[in-house]
Structure 1
Amino acid sequence: MKKLFKFLGIVLLLIIALITVYFFVNNESLPQGKKGKEADALAIKMFNAINHEAFENTEVIEWSFRNEHFYRWRKSIGLVEIKWNENKVHFNTITPSNSTVFVNDKKVNNPDLLKKAINFFNNDSFWLIAPYKIFDSGTERSIVKHEGKDALLITYTSGGTTPGDSYLWILDENYFPTSYKMWTSIIPIGGVAATWSDWKKTESGIQLPTKHTLSLFGMEINMGDVKAYNEGANILANKILKAINHEAYQKTNFIEWSFREKRFFKWDKKQHIVDVSWDSIRVNLHPNNIEKSTVFIHESLQKDADETLVKRAEAIFNNDSFWLVAPHKLFDNGTVRTIKKVDGKNALHVKYTSGGSTPGDSYTWILDENFIPKSFKMYVPSMNMEGLDATWEDWITTESGTLLPKNHLVAGKTILSMGNVKGYN
């Protein structure tokens, strides 16, 4: 027995020695950075890179932490549903005393479980949204040189569960965070690194991490099925689609119209092939297979399609079809929907992050009492448009049953006629 205890003692001493060596080899002192305007400027660049504005407008975020804690955070109203084991907590982030606790779906009075849920949320949400918290109240920002490049050191002097923690954000050439190093009270070794590289672009327009890998023994933290969306905006968008009979639009095979009686279109929407005509030119445009497009001049087929004319036809179609069917494109890929108040009423703001000729454009839709668009405000950076007004009027119900507009008035003076609008099968 004495030999066994002696052996166990030796093993324990070896483990302690190994831990001590590991600590001294890997422990890093907290770096000293430079505070002030330059640090704040770097933080703003990071904010812009991660699209902080979209985060502020995000209504709902869902995720889990290591498949143990599960969250649905209705951020816009400050309510979080937290689930683990048989427990469920509805945490009111604005008025914590209004939070409720359930065990096996029975409401209970259990302050300890509430406190545990709050601690879970503080920790687990940080691993999801830490880059969006660099300007939180009680934060200090400093610039630190890391491998010859500027890195951003954030110290939390108050708030959360563990005030005093510091994080050094490592940024790429576009100021997007790729990892950080940590100096925290719960990790005894300073400078432990964690990746922030497995990002997912969400429906609300923000990017969130799906997992992290720590330099400490290669530990992995999985964030589960990460989602972020704008529930209220989606409801409003669906009301618009119902009002303009989007279901019939989806089934419409052919649409015809013109643009200011100068450009004329016949769109085989089912096959996505469109005849685009102006002056003496007609292009049979195949947007999904542009090489198949053909060009006619005075109705004579060109042997080799003029690429310049094909590109012009594509640009014309993208612009002029938008003026006809934009309300039917609210859920296109790459769209971000949010609610904005205009004259005290809900309006739908739609930003196109990809697709079309000018990604980055956004539009705020103003609706009538039946949720039919009556105007929008245009924000088009490439044309220096900042809230330019345009009406959407003279809606007609086409033969196919969908609603399309016949006229617009831009900036109160320029009339855009859509001509003889038709939609049929």
Structure 2
Amino acid sequence: MKKLFKFIGIVLLLLIVSAGIYYFTNNEPLPEGKKGKEADALAIKMFNAINNDAFENTEILEWSFRGAHFYKWYKQENIVDISWDNNKVILNTKEREKSEVYINDKKVANSVVFKKAQDNFNNDSFWLIAPFKIFDSGTERRIVNYNGKDALLITYTSGGSTPGDSYLWILDDNYFPTSFKMWTSIIPIGGVSATWSDWKSTKTGIKLPTKHKLSLFGMELDMGEVKTENSKANILAYRILKAIKHEKYKKTRFIEWSFGGKRHFKWDKEKHIVAVSWDTIHVNLYPQEIDKSTVFFNEKLQEKADSTIVKKAWDIFNNDSFWLVAPHKLFDPGTIRNIVSIDNKDALKVTYTTGGTTPGDSYIWVLDENNIPKSYKMNVPSMEMNEVPATWQDWITTASGTLLPTNHTFSNGGNLSMGKVKGYN
């Protein structure tokens, strides 16, 4: 027996010594940083890189944590469905007293389970959305020189389950977070790192992590099937499409119009061929097979189509058709839809992440009482346009049964006519 106790004692001593060596080898002191404008400027660059605006407008986030805790967060409503084992909590994050606790599908009053749900949510949501919390109430921001580059140190002085924790965000050249180092009360070793690199692009335009790898014993945190959704925005978008007879638009074969009286179009939607004319130039444009396009000068066919002219026709068509059919493009690939409030009414913000001539543009659609667009506010970074307004007016019902606008006016009093608009089969 004495030999057994001696053996156990030796093992414990070795473990303690090993732990001590590991601690002193890996423990890092909290770095000193500088608060102020430079730190906030770096934080804003990080916010822009992660598309914080899209996060603010995201309605629903869904994920799990290490395959044990499952979440569906109705962010705009401040409600989270949380489940684990045989427990389910409907957590109201603003009015906690309205939360509900269920065990084995039976509603109960259980403060222990409720507190566990709160703590789980605080921890597990942080591993999902921590980059979006750098300006939360009770945060302090400091700029730190880390390996010769600027890094952002965030300290949470209040809130959550463990106030006082600090995180040093490591950013890439575009200010996108790739990892952080932690100084927290639940991890005794300072400077433990975790990756933020396995990102997933979601439907609402934000990227969220799917897993993290920690430097502490190679631990991995799996975030499960990460999803986001803007269902209210989608419902509003479908109402717009119904109002402008989008089903008829999809079946419309030919659309004709002009742009400010200077450029003229006949679009065969079925074959996706566009006759584009301006000055003495006529282009038969094949937008999806650009090399098949043909160019005419003064009605004479060029033996070899001038690629510069073809590119100009393509750019013109992208721009000028948008002013005619943009409301019909709300669900195009690469679009993100959010609801925003304009004059205390729901408006639809549509952001184009791909396609067209200037991806990244966004438009806020203001609707009339019938859900027909009456104006929009344009955000076009490449042209330094920030919520520039324009009307969508004088809608007509075409021969094919769809609705298209014929005029636009601007805040400076200018008018843009779409000419004699036709849609037919």
Give the total of aligned pairs. 425
Residue 78 of structure 1 deviates from its aligned partner by 0.9
Matches within 5 A, 1:333-344: 333-344=333-344
Q: How does 1:12-411 map to 2 (within 5 A)?
A: 12-411=12-411
SS in 2 for 1:63: strand
Task: Report the RMSD for the aligned CA atoms in angstroms.
Answer: 1.9
Distance in 1, matches of 2:270 and 2:200, equals: 32
Helix, strand or coil for the counterpart of 1:115? helix
Q: Distance in 1 between matches of 2:321 and 2:404?
A: 11
State the one-letter code of the partner of 1:63: W
**Local SS of the residue matching 1:31:** coil
C-alpha spacing 1:304/1:375, structure 2 compared with 1 (3 Å): same
Write the deviation string for residues 56-104 of structure 1: whole angstroms up to 9, x where unpaired: 2222211111121111111112111111122111111111111001122
**Alpha-carbon distance change, 261 to 143 in structure 1, aligned in 2, over 3 angstroms:** closer
The Cα of 1:121 is off from its aligned counterpart by 0.4
SS at match of 1:250: helix
> Which whole-Å CA distance do the structure 1 matches of 2:383 and 2:34 have between them?
39
- Alpha carbons of structure 1 residues 67 and 251: separation in structure 2 relative to 1, 3 Å: farther
How many angstroms apart in 1 are the aligned matches of 2:107 and 2:272? 55
Q: CA deviation at 1:6?
A: 4.5
Deviation of 1:354 after TM superposition, in Å, equals: 2.7
CA deviation vs aligned residue, 1:329-363 (integer Å, no higher than 9, x gap)? 11223322222222332221222233211223222
Q: Which amino acid aligns with 1:277?
A: S
Residues 107 and 329 (structure 1 numbering): CA distance in 2 closer, same or farther, change over 3 Å? same
* SS of aligned partner of 2:120: helix
Indicate how the Cα distance of structure 1 residues 251 and 13 shifts in structure 2: closer, same or farther if over 3 A, else same.
farther
Residues 94-103 or 259-268, more deviating? 259-268
Give 3-state SS (helix, strand or coil) of 1:62's partner. Answer: strand
Kindly provide the amino acid, as one letter, of the partner of residue 165 in structure 1: D
TM-score, reference length from structure 1: 0.94
Quick check: 1:390–1:412 contact (8 Å CA) kept in 2?
no
Q: Percent identity?
A: 70
Counterpart residue identity of residue 100, structure 2: T
Partner AA of 1:39 in structure 2: A
SS at match of 2:320: helix
Q: Structure 1's 36 and 343: CA in aligned 2 closer, same or farther, altered over 3 A?
A: closer
Of 354-363 and 231-240, more deviation after overlay is shown by 354-363
Contact 1:389 1:412 in 2 (8 A): no
Conserved 8 A contact 1:275-1:285: yes
- For the residue of structure 1 that corresponds to 2:270, the secondary structure is coil
Uncovered stretches (5+) of structure 2, i.e. residues with no partner = none
Tell me which moved more, 254-263 or 127-136: 254-263
What is the Cα deviation at residue 115 of structure 1? 0.6
Deviation of the 1:7 alpha carbon: 4.3
Question: 1:129 deviation in Å?
Answer: 0.8
1:82 and 1:88 in contact (8 A); partners too? yes
Counterpart-to-counterpart distance in 2, 1:359 and 1:248 = 27
Q: Distance in 1 between matches of 2:226 and 2:125?
A: 11
Question: Structure 1: which amino acid aligns with 2:243?
Answer: A
Amino acid of the structure 2 residue aligned with 1:182: M
Deviation at 1:2?
5.4
- 1:197 offset after TM fit, Å? 1.1
Separation in 2, partners of 1:240, 1:35 = 47
Q: Find the aligned partners of 1:415 and 1:134 in 2 and give their Cα distance.
A: 44
Unaligned ranges ≥5, structure 1: none
SS at 1:173 equivalent: coil
Letter aligned with residue 408 of structure 2: H
Bigger mean CA offset, 114-123 vs 203-212: 203-212
Give the equivalent residue in structure 2 for 1:419: 419
Deviations 1:190-243 (A, max 9, x none): 111000111222222222111111111221111122222322222111110111
Give the deviation of 1:3 after TM superposition. Answer: 4.9
TM-score (normalised: structure 2):
0.94
Partner Cα distance (1:103, 1:401) in 2: 55
Is contact 1:72–1:82 with CA below 8 Å preserved after alignment?
yes
